[in-house]
Structure 1
Amino acid sequence: MERTKIQVLYDASNAVFSQKELPSFKQIQWLKSILDVLEAVDVGIDEFSLHRPSIKGRICGQAVSEITYIHIHECDSFSIGVFCFPAGVTFPLHDHPGMTVLSKILYGSLYIKAYDWVKVDKSSCRINGLAGAVVDGMFNAPCEPSILFPRSGGNIHSLTALTPCAILDVLSPPYSEEMGRPSTYFSDFPIPSLPGYAILEEKDMPQDLVVAGAPYLGPPVDEATMLA
């Protein structure tokens, strides 16, 4: 029986991120190529539907009215999920501490601003420092998946939905307060005399940031399978 695309992604993520060794560049590129072929329908989203609920038993992409997270899988090694955005909302500047993150825009248009640390000051209770811009622009589906690493690729970023859109994320390891991997939010202050650089200052999670949950309606993922 042929595996679904999301099953192939799960099996490959499990093989790469559950091993004792750090993933190789070749393995990360392999995962990126698997992520690249996934579409909204492969994770149970009807990107064109305006109806609620979808007559096809899928999440209706155009009917999402707030930032919504669809949980597909999470274990100690990695997580897989989808963020759906209505047009006009912004997910504020935040980091992915110690993580490798692969992301695929399934549909829609996004404005992304991303930084990497140049110098970090953790002497106080909060994190501040100099950061360099890595990404500052608009991205339209279809486009190739992005990869960010703990110290490169745009680990600290914000996302603004220009149209209804969705992003499939694979995070390794996942966020964990207990393991010292909380999500931290930042304000950025561009430096006029240093174009492309800004001072980032940690701030509390914005009170108006609300992320709703939605059920995963895509093909089931068999977590007992192993990659052959």
Structure 2
Amino acid sequence: MYSLLDPSRFVVFITGATSGFGAAAARRYVAAGGKVIATGRREDRLLELRDELGADKCHIIALDVRDRTALQAAIAAIPAPFDAINVVLANAGLALGLQPAAEADLDDWQTMIDTNVSGLVYTVRLLLPGMVARGGGHVVTMGSVAGEFAYPGGSVYAASKAFVKHFALAIRSDLQGKNIRVTDIEPGLTETEFSIVRFKGDESKAGNVYSGTKAMTADDIAESIFWATSLPEHVNVNKIQLMATTQAIGPFDIYRQN
């Protein structure tokens, strides 16, 4: 019978496992006795993760979630026992730039849409039939507080995360009777490579985001993901929204003429 109450039965497919939330989640599940399929674009990082966690616990696949054909082929080729996937962590995503909408780079917008939206839905759609056939599972999507509280310069990023939130709610309804749970994780300020990617390698700008405050860590978010998936099977956590204690929802943005 399908069960995740024994952590050793976790078999977790993780996108974006080369850093941040994905890598931290891989470590958390393996520490509990589970197995992970770690995917991402940076093969060198994946090899390091496999060396750290052990090839018997960590199967790696170098791929870009935006490439639906490659993703489909990779999933079809996953060897046993890693093919008995019962948790999908659709984590791959990014923010690029912080310019006002009229000045933003359209290529940056397209990359965010292709990764945060298309890559996520490809991942979930391709892995759902297997979980249905095996009698259950858990889909975890990686949203953001930006999906609920937009901010200047975050237009397409925020919109992409609002999509993730509603996609998770909608497939939860679609999966009624299939014994598959769905949880959207919505982190706020967390110190990872997120800002370095957003500012395209400018470590000074990235550092300013976290300067003088205490942000959450990737391990904090991984623990929340693990908690949601390890609850009794009759309990579904629809979403977990987390913020650093030093972060709160800001005031309304009001334009005033001089």
Identify the structure with bigger relative contact order (alpha carbons < 8 Å, sequence gap 6+). Answer: 1
Higher strand proportion (structure 1 or 2) = 1
The normalised TM-score by structure 1 is 0.25
The normalised TM-score by structure 2 is 0.23
Higher helix proportion (structure 1 or 2) = 2
